[in-house]
């Protein structure tokens, strides 16, 4: 601890024995040991306090870094939200412009469901269906194909 070797300790003990004498040397050694123990205890106390403070400082630093990263993510989210809102506003404005243009030009407006012709209506059930010869002669009607039964399909053919 102090860089004192064994030989040096022997010289110190011999000088202490000569100076203090055999009667006072044990009491002086106990007193010196007491002070050494107190110094060590104080040293360990200071050391443990420093370690605790360093650990607390490290914890505080990591909390600050976490807060900074959370703030960065929050900033990125706010930026993304503002870009999304801006894009949505652009789309909304474009749609409003298209609607306004369509209202200004009623003759050129695209056909709506009201302007389209009505779909063809199937013949009423009380009307007699046309004979196959009449349907075959009409080029606007698709050809009528009779349904195929299971007996007419060859075995192994895909359906």
Which range among 26-30, 51-55, 129-133 shows the weakest confidence by mean pLDDT?
A: 129-133
pTM comes to 0.38
Question: Which structural domain range is residue 40 located in?
Answer: 8-54
Q: Does residue 79 form part of some domain?
A: yes
Number of other residues whose CB lies within 10 A of the CB of residue 130? 14
In the prediction, which pLDDT does 13 show? Answer: 85
Same-domain status, 85 and 70 = yes
Contact 105, 117 (CB under 8 A): no
| % of residues, the chain, pLDDT over 70 | 65
- 61 and 45: one domain? no
| Cα–Cα distance, 90 to 84 (Å, whole number) | 10
pLDDT over 90 (residue 112) = no
Condensed to tens digits (0 to 9), the pLDDT of residues 90-108 reads: 999 999 999 988 888 866 5
CA-derived radius of gyration, the chain: 52
pLDDT tens digit sequence for 13-27? 889 888 888 898 889
Residues 6+ apart with CB under 8 A from 12: 4
Residue 12, in any domain of the structure: yes
Residues 6+ apart with CB under 8 A from 5: none
In a domain, 124, yes or no: no
Contact 28/20 with Cβ under 8 angstroms? yes
Within a domain: residue 116?
Answer: no
Identify whether 28 is part of a domain. Answer: yes
- Residue 44 forms part of a structural domain: yes
Residues 50 and 64 in one domain: no
* 45 is a domain residue: yes
Other beta carbons within 10 angstroms of residue 25's beta carbon come to: 15
Q: How many domains does the chain have?
A: 2
């Amino acid at each position: 601890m102090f860089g004192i070797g064994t030989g040096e300790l022997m010289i110190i003990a011999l000088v202490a024995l000569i100076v203090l004498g055999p009667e006072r040397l044990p009491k002086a050694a106990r007193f010196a040991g007491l002070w050494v123990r107190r110094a060590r205890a104080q040293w360990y106390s200071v050391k443990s306090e420093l370690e605790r403070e360093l650990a607390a400082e490290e914890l505080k630093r990591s909390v600050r870094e976490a807060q900074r990263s959370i703030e960065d993510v929050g900033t990125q989210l706010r930026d993304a939200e503002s870009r999304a809102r801006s894009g949505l506003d652009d789309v909304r404005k474009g749609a409003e412009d298209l609607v306004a243009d369509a209202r200004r030009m009623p003759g050129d407006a695209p056909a709506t469901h009201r302007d389209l012709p009505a779909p063809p209506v199937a013949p009423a059930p009380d009307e007699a269906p046309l004979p196959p010869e009449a349907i075959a002669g009409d080029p606007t009607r698709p050809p009528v194909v009779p349904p195929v039964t299971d007996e007419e399909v060859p075995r192994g053919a895909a359906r």
